[in-house]
C-alpha cells in the first residue's frame, strides 16, 4: 500500500496504518454513505477522521493508476496547499492507496476531526439562526480571500464549509471534501460569481453576499447581484432538471 504522511504525524505511522488495515471493523462511524464512508479514530490525545472512498470501476481503476491522481491523494495535497496559503481546512494527516494488478483498488484520506462546528447549510435552512447576517458576510469575506489567492473550490456548496464559533465571538471557516480544486494566478469576475452559485437558492442571502462582495472588491453591487443571482438560478434549474430525469429513469426501471 502506498502512503504519505504529514510530517507532524509521521510518529504515528504504525497506529494510522493499523486504522486503515482494520477500517471495516474498527473506528466510530461518522458518515456512512452509499459511495464513501467516514470513521473516527483516536490518535494519542487527538481524534482523526478517515475517509474511505468508493471503490472505483474498472475504467477509473486504470485511470487513477496511470492518468490522474486518486481522490485521496488530491485531498491530501490540496489540504496541504490550503494550509500553506492560510485558508482554513482540517489538518491533513495522511493518504493511502492500495493497488491490484489492474489499478487502484481502494484509497483513504486521514485528517484532523473538528469538534464544535456546523455546516454553512444550517445558515441556509434556518432563517432565525443566531448572527445569520453576520456569518453570511464573514463567509463571503472567506470566499473573497480564496478568490484573491487564486483558489477555485469546485465543490463550493453549503455542506462543504464547516464553521466554528470562537470564544471571542468571531467565526472560523474550514473547507472539506477537497478533491476538486483549481489554483490560478488570478480569477476572473465570471468565474468568481459562478463559484458562489451553488451556495444558496435564497435571494435574500444572495443580496447580502453581493453587498459584501461589492464592498470587498470595490465592484458594482447591482452587477454583482444580477450576475450571482442569474448563475444561481441557472444552477438550480439544471440541478432540479437532473433530479427529475433521474426520478423518471428510476420509475421506468421498475
pLDDT at 239: 73
Strands 104-112 and 92-99: antiparallel
What class is the 2-112 domain?
alpha beta
Query: CATH number for the 118-242 domain, one of 2.60.40, 1.10.510, 3.40.50, 1.10.3470?
Result: 1.10.510
Grid cell locating 72: 485521496
Residue 97 DSSP symbol: E
User: How many of the other CB atoms lie within 10 Å of CB of 97?
Assistant: 20
pLDDT at 247: 67
Beta strands in 78-225 (DSSP E): 92-99, 104-112, 118-119, 151-153, 161-165, 171-175, 181-183
pLDDT at 248: 62
Q: Do domains 2-112 and 118-242 have the same CATH topology?
A: no
pLDDT at 250: 62
pLDDT at 52: 98
How large is the C-alpha radius of gyration of the chain? Answer: 20
In the chain, domain spans: 2-112, 118-242
Instruction: Answer yes or no: are the C-beta atoms of 152 and 193 closer than 8 Å.
Output: no
pLDDT at 242: 72
pLDDT at 34: 86
Q: For the chain, which ranges sit under pLDDT 70?
A: 240, 244-254
In sequence order, what are the residues at sequence separation of 6 or more whose Cβ sits closer than 8 angstroms to the Cβ of residue 49? 30, 38, 39, 40, 90, 110, 111, 112, 113
The rounded Cα 73 to chain-centroid distance in angstroms is 14
Query: Roughly what angle, to the nearest 10 degrees, separates helices 221-253 and 203-217?
Result: 140
Amino acid at each position: 500500500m502506498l502512503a504519505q504522511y504529514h510530517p507532524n504525524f509521521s510518529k504515528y505511522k504504525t497506529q494510522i496504518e493499523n486504522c486503515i488495515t482494520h477500517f471495516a471493523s474498527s473506528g466510530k462511524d461518522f458518515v456512512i454513505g452509499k459511495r464513501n464512508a467516514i470513521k473516527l479514530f483516536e490518535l494519542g490525545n487527538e481524534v482523526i477522521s478517515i475517509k474511505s472512498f468508493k471503490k472505483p470501476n474498472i475504467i477509473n481503476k486504470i485511470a487513477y493508476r496511470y492518468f490522474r491522481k486518486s481522490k485521496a491523494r488530491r485531498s491530501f495535497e490540496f489540504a496541504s496547499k490550503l494550509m500553506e496559503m492560510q485558508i482554513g481546512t482540517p489538518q491533513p494527516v495522511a493518504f493511502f492507496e492500495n493497488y491490484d494488478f489492474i489499478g487502484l483498488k481502494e484509497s483513504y484520506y486521514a485528517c484532523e476531526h473538528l469538534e464544535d462546528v456546523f455546516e454553512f447549510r444550517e445558515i441556509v435552512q434556518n432563517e432565525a439562526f443566531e448572527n445569520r447576517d453576520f456569518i453570511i458576510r464573514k463567509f463571503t469575506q472567506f470566499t473573497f480571500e480564496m478568490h484573491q489567492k487564486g483558489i477555485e473550490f469546485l465543490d463550493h456548496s453549503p455542506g462543504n464549509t464547516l464553521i466554528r464559533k470562537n470564544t471571542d465571538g468571531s467565526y472560523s471557516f474550514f473547507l472539506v471534501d477537497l478533491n476538486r480544486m483549481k489554483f490560478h494566478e488570478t480569477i476572473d469576475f465570471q468565474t468568481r460569481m459562478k463559484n458562489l452559485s451553488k451556495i444558496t437558492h435564497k435571494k435574500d442571502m444572495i443580496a447580502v453576499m453581493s453587498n459584501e462582495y461589492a464592498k470587498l472588491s470595490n465592484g458594482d453591487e447591482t452587477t454583482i447581484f444580477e450576475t450571482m443571482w442569474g448563475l444561481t438560478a441557472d444552477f438550480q434549474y439544471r440541478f432540479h432538471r437532473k433530479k427529475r430525469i433521474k426520478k423518471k429513469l428510476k420509475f421506468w426501471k421498475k
